[in-house]
């Protein structure tokens, strides 16, 4: 389950006087564990009209029957994502989990995890707690604004994660999709673990590649195999 979470959370404007447009897209990813193909992931963002958007992330392990499905709806106003609600599902060989969340009136989130009630209040100076899918959209659009030190609080099932991201460098990388100029971003967890993200400005700051590094070695990696940015909202409602 932890590796499937890595797949989805990883996928998980330029003007200082205005804010960027949310562009619908579809993207597919391949995740490896120590060089061995592990899982495939899919992301889709739809413009539902009236400033309401939906982002869906799914992942399926190549063995073991593990599945992950997260669907979130949100609005976007003055550069901020505001959650309207989400449904998160995980399935394994012998277990399953469902979390359903919606915002309270004070920027927090109310989440039911397999029927158990959780109420997460927003920290001081945080306009709203994000869900995992909404967080990924906020990260992209904060990068479009030119921010380089990024700090987020977002819900993952029955807890709130508190992560800080730093833009480390501009770096050209080559993947199966081609060569792209990217922003290289680091998120540290302790002294011996880091998550590295590479996002391409020319592809609307979509995630091109991600790595988890432990003790100086790549533990797990993810790479985009397809990214399709849409100029309009004509996307199918279901993932392939």
Q: Which residue is it, tokens 């200082």?
A: 16
Low-confidence winner among 42-51, 81-90, 121-130 (lowest mean pLDDT): 121-130
Confidence check: pLDDT of 201 > 70 = yes
- Residue 238 is predicted with a pLDDT of 33
Residue with the bigger pLDDT between 23 and 234: it is 23
Give the three-state DSSP class for 22: coil
Give the largest Cα separation in the chain, rounded: 52
Nearest-5° Cα angle at 74, 233 to 133:
95
For domain 2-12+23-228, give the CATH number: 2.50.20
Residue with the bigger pLDDT between 47 and 127: it is 47
Judge contact between 229 and 43, C-beta under 8 A.
Answer: no
- Residue 95 is predicted with a pLDDT of 85
- Residue 32 is predicted with a pLDDT of 87
Q: What is the pTM of this model?
A: 0.82
Q: What is the tens place of the pLDDT at every residue in 57-114?
A: 999 887 667 898 999 999 998 888 999 999 999 988 788 999 999 999 988 999 999 9
- Residue 110 is predicted with a pLDDT of 95
Nearest-5° Cα angle at 219, 217 to 222:
120
Q: What's the chain's average pLDDT?
A: 84
pLDDT interval class at 124 (50, 70, 90)? confident
- Mean per-residue pLDDT for 159-163? 87
- Residue 226 is predicted with a pLDDT of 95
- Mean per-residue pLDDT for 112-119? 94
Q: What is the tens place of the pLDDT at every residue in 169-183?
A: 999 999 999 999 999
Q: Are strands 178-188 and 159-175 parallel, antiparallel or unpaired?
A: antiparallel
- Residue 101 is predicted with a pLDDT of 94
- Residue 75 is predicted with a pLDDT of 93
Give the three-state DSSP class for 51: coil
- Mean per-residue pLDDT for 19-32? 86
Confidence check: pLDDT of 234 > 60 = no
């Amino acid at each position: 389950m932890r590796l499937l979470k890595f797949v989805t959370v990883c996928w998980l404007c330029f003007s200082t006087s205005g804010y960027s447009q949310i562009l619908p897209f579809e993207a597919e990813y391949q995740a490896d564990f120590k060089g061995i193909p592990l899982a495939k992931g899919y992301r889709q963002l739809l413009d539902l009209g009236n400033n309401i958007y939906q982002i869906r992330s799914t992942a399926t392990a190549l063995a073991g029957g593990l599945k992950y499905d997260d669907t979130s709806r949100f609005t976007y106003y003055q550069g901020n994502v505001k959650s309207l609600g989400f449904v998160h599902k995980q399935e394994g060989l012998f277990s399953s989990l469902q979390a359903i969340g919606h915002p309270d009136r004070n920027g927090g989130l109310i989440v039911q995890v397999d029927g158990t009630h959780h109420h997460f209040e927003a920290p001081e100076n945080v306009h709203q707690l994000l869900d995992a899918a909404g967080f990924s959209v906020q990260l992209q659009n904060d990068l479009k604004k030119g921010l380089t030190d990024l700090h987020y609080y977002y819900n993952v099932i029955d807890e709130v994660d508190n992560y800080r991201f730093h833009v480390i460098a501009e770096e050209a990388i080559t993947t199966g999709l081609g060569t792209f100029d990217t922003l290289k971003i680091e998120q540290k967890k302790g002294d011996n673990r880091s998550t590295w993200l590479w996002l391409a400005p020319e592809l609307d700051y979509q995630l091109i590649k991600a790595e988890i590094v432990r003790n100086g070695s790549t533990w797990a990696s993810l790479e985009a195999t397809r990214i399709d940015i849409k100029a309009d909202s004509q996307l199918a409602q279901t993932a392939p």
